[in-house]
Structure 1
């Protein structure tokens, strides 16, 4: 985003960005019991068919090295893997009620707590602590607690999963840009810039969002939210 916003093709009509996170489950069959978890190491060794196969996969992907390039010094391989529905619901609730910038800030904090500090993403207490960290007095934390204790928002996430299935998206990362173009896998930043430039070249923008209606995100949240490109990654 920084490349496109700081160097617009038309200075009188620069591109702005709104980021909407789409819920995706790496392990949809995980128990919803908040007391259950397993280590991510165990999960991945099972997924790839044993320790040796997983070690080979790590070498191919070089995630540790990529993380260090962007300032992430440590991924906790033994972080607690659990059902992620609660975290998805909270991110969507914050987006719907407080905007994409707030939900992106929440996403950043959740990533640190899970990937670095190893915490479970179905821990309601931890989720509320993360919401408090980014609240700045804006988020109603009592409402957030009541929301997490309910099943509100689950129906929308189920519908979003069905939409992903229809698009043939069964893994992450994927970038759905302007509601139409899908870039899959660990794409290079230049590919994203190319997609943004194609939209910019039309001069019309890309107001469509494939998932906003499904997730119940108000139109004003999508159309009025502009994110700071120096702080947030682009998944438009």
Structure 2
């Protein structure tokens, strides 16, 4: 089985959805033979790399809500993450641009080690959702990347250039061509799609159905 999924580091549903997908693959005995190929998808590419806005302000403005409504929804999302064993402290997340984080994920993927790539992705989720640090801060990105197994020299070279920028844009162009307008979005065997952070049982059932169809 082959799975590509469009995702953003700043997307709590991407964090939750990819975690559920990995669990589903493990339950079905597919985890070892089905690596997840991360595709870049920026929820808001217009966000700055530095901001004084809080997530509460950003969320309320972006969704046309009052601050009280936004806080209630943020807390609901955080509880959803906790249900999957994840720390999703969305209220204290820093709403900044994720483009450079995506470029570093492309660096990791270019090295051909799926384990390191997954560690980098997970480290960036930790930065954003657990640590309350800016995912656009180069020092933060460098520390997280090196701790996940990337070379400091390679990370510095990417951050000091536009390396892998086109790779990120190509993912976004592909998403547009496929009619993908939100994340997460999973494409399985280039034929089947699963949109959003579906419930765990739904993902398991969908994978079983795809297996059955592919075996026909």
- Name the TM-score, length of structure 1 as normaliser: 0.72
Measured after TM superposition, the shift of residue 186 of structure 1 is 2.1
- CA change 1:144–1:51 in 2 (3 A) is same
- Cα distance in 2 for partners of 1:179, 1:37 equals 41
Measured after TM superposition, the shift of residue 134 of structure 1 is 1.7
The aligned length equals 190
- Cα distance in 1 for partners of 2:198, 2:70 equals 22
> 5 Å matches for 1:158-197?
158-197=169-208
Which residue is 1:41 aligned to? 56
Coordinate RMSD, CA, aligned: 2.3
- Cα distance in 2 for partners of 1:58, 1:203 equals 42
Measured after TM superposition, the shift of residue 74 of structure 1 is 5.2
> 5 Å matches for 1:10-29?
16-29=33-46
Alignment partner of 1:96 is 2:120? no
Q: Which has the higher helix share?
A: 2
Larger radius of gyration: 1
- CA change 1:37–1:145 in 2 (3 A) is farther
SS at match of 2:40: coil
Which residue is 1:226 aligned to? none
Which residue is 2:119 aligned to? 105
Alignment deviations for residues 164-220 of structure 1 (CA, whole Å, 9 cap, x no partner): 11222222222222222111122112232233224433359xxxxxxxxxxxxxxxx
SS at match of 1:187: coil
Which residue is 1:227 aligned to? none
Which residue is 2:77 aligned to? 63
The answer on whether the counterparts of 1:89 and 1:157 sit within 8 Å (CA) in structure 2 is yes
SS at match of 2:146: helix
**Structure 2: gaps (5+ residues):** 1-24
Measured after TM superposition, the shift of residue 58 of structure 1 is 4.4
SS at match of 2:28: helix
Measured after TM superposition, the shift of residue 147 of structure 1 is 1.4
- CA change 1:126–1:58 in 2 (3 A) is closer
Measured after TM superposition, the shift of residue 142 of structure 1 is 0.6
- CA change 1:84–1:58 in 2 (3 A) is closer
- Cα distance in 2 for partners of 1:169, 1:143 equals 31
Which residue is 1:83 aligned to? 97
